[in-house]
Structure 1
Amino acid sequence: MIFEAQPDDIDELYELWRLLLDMQQAYHVVFRYKPGSDQALKAELLSRLKDKSTRVFVYQEGEVWAGMLLASLRPGSAGFKLANKGYIGETVVRDEFRGKGIGKELFESAKKWLSDQGADHLELQVSVHNPRGIHFWESLGFTPSTQHMVLPLQGSGSSKKTK
């Protein structure tokens, strides 16, 4: 069953979000979080839950929250042909539920909501070190349009090593 998470769901939702964050730790320094930062991370997620232009879709099977997908509407410039961006953010499905179509169902729910809100295209970012994620999004019709690049600056609390 798919539903939209509410601020009262923060504890269950945070558990899923941490699964995603933990998986991404090895991909790049940009994904790393500070030890002991649970309160700040939970506050960030709660802020997103309260954002009127954002929805967090959750797939629940029985009592288990099996997956989540964050979707936001980000209006752009009227000067561009594609001016109303639907953005697909953090997406995760628990390992034991993968391969059952849950990710696709979450995506379809988000796509419908974003389309209903006036989105004329969808965008997302996926780590170049996540071939399974890249394959998943490509199977849904996404294609690369830019190469997102990051340069951590010295003294920013991160090492020069990016992988």
Structure 2
Amino acid sequence: MRLMNRGTSEVMVLKVIPAEESHIPQVIELWKELMDFHRGLDGFYSRKKDGEISFRNYMEKCIMASDCLALVAIESDEVAGYSISTMSKHPPVLEIESYGLISDMAVKAEHRRQGIGSAMLMETLDWFASSGVDRIELHAAATNPIGNSFWIKHGFKDYEHILYLTHQPKY
């Protein structure tokens, strides 16, 4: 896939491919960037000191699992973006039981608004469709206007709001 580098006449050659173990170190660095960006929006997203170990384990399992799709966007042998999606199930009381869950998607700040996220999303939607899944869900931070505008631009809609309360008991 060829993309124009925003603001220049430079053409990028981009590949969106299934992630491999060799991509994990670069994906972890991008995951840290994503988490730190979200921490700036809401302290809830502060990552544990050893959080990258858990994320590495999650990524390794996803790469090997048939019900998970880990993608990387590669430009000049560099990971410019990654996404992780899984097959999931709603409670059996609902008519629509199976759905696809996009759990992570991130593009390096310097590569945003160049079509990389859209390219990964199209690959993800094709993967879900090939599995007979037509409902796709994700969780987006309410305080992330960049992410929310991306998802809305691609047709995603609100259907549920998750509310929270930090409660300090009075003893």
* TM-score normalised by length of structure 2: 0.80
Partner in structure 2 of residue 26 of structure 1: 40
- The superposition leaves residues 25-83 of structure 1 with CA deviations (integer Å, 9 ceiling, x where unpaired) of 12334321123443333223333333331111111011211011111111335653432
Of 76, 90, 94, the match for 2:104: 90
Runs of 5+ consecutive residues of structure 2 not aligned to the other structure: 1-14
Equivalent residue runs for 1:1-163 within 5 Å: 1-77=15-91, 79-152=93-166
Q: Distance in 1 between matches of 2:19 and 2:168?
A: 38
Deviation at 1:91, TM superposition (A): 0.8
- Letter in structure 1 aligned against 2:89: P
Q: Distance in 2 between matches of 1:25 and 1:76?
A: 29
Q: Distance in 2 between matches of 1:42 and 1:110?
A: 21
User: Measured at CA, do residues 152 and 34 of structure 1 come closer, stay the same or move farther in structure 2, by a change above 3 Å?
Assistant: farther
Q: Distance in 2 between matches of 1:106 and 1:137?
A: 12
Q: Helix, strand or coil: the match of 1:25?
A: helix
* Larger gyration radius, structure 1 or structure 2: 2
Runs of 5+ consecutive residues of structure 1 not aligned to the other structure: 156-163
Moved more, 118-127 or 77-86: 77-86
- Give the 4+ runs in structure 1 shifted more than 4 A: 152-155
User: Measured at CA, do residues 22 and 122 of structure 1 come closer, stay the same or move farther in structure 2, by a change above 3 Å?
Assistant: same
CA contact under 8 A between 1:69 and 1:91: conserved in structure 2? yes
Task: State, as a whole percentage, how many aligned pairs show the same letter.
Answer: 22
CA contact under 8 A between 2:87 and 2:100: conserved in structure 1? yes
The two structures, once aligned, show a CA RMSD in angstroms of: 2.2
Q: Helix, strand or coil: the match of 1:46?
A: helix
User: Measured at CA, do residues 91 and 154 of structure 1 come closer, stay the same or move farther in structure 2, by a change above 3 Å?
Assistant: farther
Moved more, 24-33 or 118-127: 24-33
